[in-house]
Chain A
Amino acid sequence: MALQLKDKDAYQRMNYLYQAAHCVLSQNPENVELARFYCFTQKTIARRLVLRQDPSVKRTLCKKCCSLLIPGVTATTRQRRKNSKTRFTVLHCLSCGQSKTLLNDPNHCLWVDRPEALMEQQKQPDQGPSNKKQTKGKKPDGPVSSKPSAAKSDAKSTAST
């Protein structure tokens, strides 16, 4: 099942903006404003067209000031503990001071990572609207999810994959 064409264009554009933000930051790590501008444009496109973004992409964007969070360059990462059981990671944006808390539960698995959310593996054509939503959620995953794994990886190599 192919995606509707106008959404695919928008996804490519958001993907490109994300990579461009990384590229600009890698060239000049002091220039946070330009990366913030590109991420803000990306967020606005997603908001206008109501597109779903992958959590791994959303985690690296600050919710308040929309800057790109890279540990060491624009953000601080700390590991904290509530009691002896729950541990979480605190990602602190250096420009606006907003903290983002992420739980480190080894058993917790996101919906999009589960195998039933993958559209391509499903053979049956039923459940029309819910499946479509999942494919749209998966689409930016391919070229983009390799991005956050290496925080300062070369933008060109991921664009060519």
Chain B
Amino acid sequence: MEEALVRATIPQDLEKLLGVESRPHPKAFTDAFLKNSLPHTTRCDVNNLLTHKALILGYSRPKKDKRKSKKPKGLNARQKRAMKVFQLKPEHQRYELFLPLHDLWRQYVIDLCSGLKPTSNPQFVQQKLLKADFHGAIVTVVRSKCPSYVGTTGIIVQEFKHVFKIITREDKLKVIPKRNSVFSVEINGFVSHIYGSKFEQRASERSAKKFKVRGTIDL
């Protein structure tokens, strides 16, 4: 039994039979799976374990699980703080990993506006953009009250109430406040400027909220 068999891809005819698709880099999945199922002490050196020994999976399960306490379906703020936000483990996330997400976003926006630049008027596209989702878009800060933000470009990873979290090409995670900044989004030739001060809503609330034309638009 070779270890190479664990990481081998499924042959083509079996793929069709089972109805699965093999991913291009299966090593990441096996590593994650092993990390989850191995007991705590030996979790550090996964690769070392794969070389010679036989693994014991799911051994020493902690006994505290037997209580079967079904909490009501809510969750409290403590849990939210412990888990939800983006950890960016030891800078795992590289810029290249988010490029497929950007591709998906581009298809989504083209589908949303159902057209390209020459056909549809800008007004219609902007109305759609107000309710659209920006996760995965490439934005650039064009104008800002704080000059050090200007020129930052990256893919939006998360959108909170007052900030955007952006990952730049140098794999740095930047947190940029929405207030007093102008962002520019570009979709195959169609450039749109977003005044961040008017966008200070949580991402989900923006699709529920209607926008009023209010006052002058400036920084």
Binding site for B on A (CB under 8 A): 6, 9-10, 12-13, 16-17, 19-20, 23-24, 26-31, 33-34, 36-38, 40-41, 44-45, 48-49, 63-65, 72-73, 94-98, 149-150, 152-156, 159-160
On chain A, the residues within 8 Å of B9 by CB distance are: none
On chain A, the residues within 8 Å of B71 by CB distance are: 64, 98
On chain B, the residues within 8 Å of A152 by CB distance are: 20-21, 23
Secondary structure call for the A interface: helix
Interface flags for B40-53 (1: CB within 8 Å of A; 0: not) read 00000000000000
Given known A28-B93, A72-B33, contact A159–B104 (CB-CB < 8 A): yes
- A10 to chain B: closest CB distance in Å? 6
Segment at the interface with A among B129-137, B145-153, B187-195, B211-219: B129-137
In the A-B complex, the 10 residue pairs with the closest CB atoms: A44-B204, A29-B32, A48-B208, A16-B108, A27-B97, A45-B204, A13-B133, A63-B73, A30-B32, A9-B131
**Could you list 14 further interchain pairs (A-B, Cβ under 8 angstroms) beyond the known A23-B104, A96-B75?**
A12-B112, A13-B207, A20-B101, A24-B98, A28-B93, A29-B32, A30-B32, A34-B86, A41-B135, A44-B205, A45-B208, A73-B29, A96-B79, A159-B108
B87 at interface (Cβ–Cβ under 8 A)?
Answer: yes
Question: Can you offer 26 A-B residue contacts whose CB atoms are under 8 A?
Answer: A6-B131, A9-B112, A12-B108, A12-B111, A13-B132, A17-B135, A27-B101, A28-B93, A30-B31, A30-B92, A33-B86, A36-B84, A37-B84, A37-B85, A44-B205, A64-B74, A73-B32, A96-B75, A96-B83, A97-B65, A150-B19, A152-B20, A152-B23, A155-B100, A156-B104, A159-B107
Given known A10-B131, A23-B104, contact A49–B23 (CB-CB < 8 A): no
Number of A-B contacts (CB under 8 A): 128
Task: Name B64-103 residues within 8 Å CB distance of A.
Answer: 65, 71, 73-75, 79, 83-87, 89, 92-93, 97-98, 100-101, 103
Does the CB pair B35–A16 fall under 8 Å?
Answer: no
Does the CB pair A64–B21 fall under 8 Å?
Answer: no
Please, how many angstroms separate the alpha-carbon atoms of A73 and B28 in the complex? Answer: 11
B158 at interface (Cβ–Cβ under 8 A)?
Answer: yes
B120 at interface (Cβ–Cβ under 8 A)?
Answer: no
On chain B, the residues within 8 Å of A72 by CB distance are: 29, 33
Please, how many angstroms separate the alpha-carbon atoms of A155 and B205 in the complex? Answer: 26
Binding site for A on B (CB under 8 A): 19-21, 23, 28-29, 31-33, 35-36, 65, 71, 73-75, 79, 83-87, 89, 92-93, 97-98, 100-101, 103-105, 107-108, 111-112, 128, 131-133, 135-136, 157-158, 202-205, 207-208
Chain A's closest residue to B132 (CB) is: A13
On chain A, the residues within 8 Å of B207 by CB distance are: 9-10, 13, 45, 48-49
Does the CB pair B100–A23 fall under 8 Å?
Answer: yes
When the two chains form the complex, which single residue of B21, B29, B205 contacts A153, counting CB atoms closer than 8 Å?
B21
On chain A, the residues within 8 Å of B108 by CB distance are: 12, 16, 159
On chain A, the residues within 8 Å of B136 by CB distance are: 20
Please, how many angstroms separate the alpha-carbon atoms of A155 and B98 in the complex? Answer: 13
Please, how many angstroms separate the alpha-carbon atoms of A36 and B92 in the complex? Answer: 17
On chain B, the residues within 8 Å of A160 by CB distance are: 107
On chain B, the residues within 8 Å of A153 by CB distance are: 21
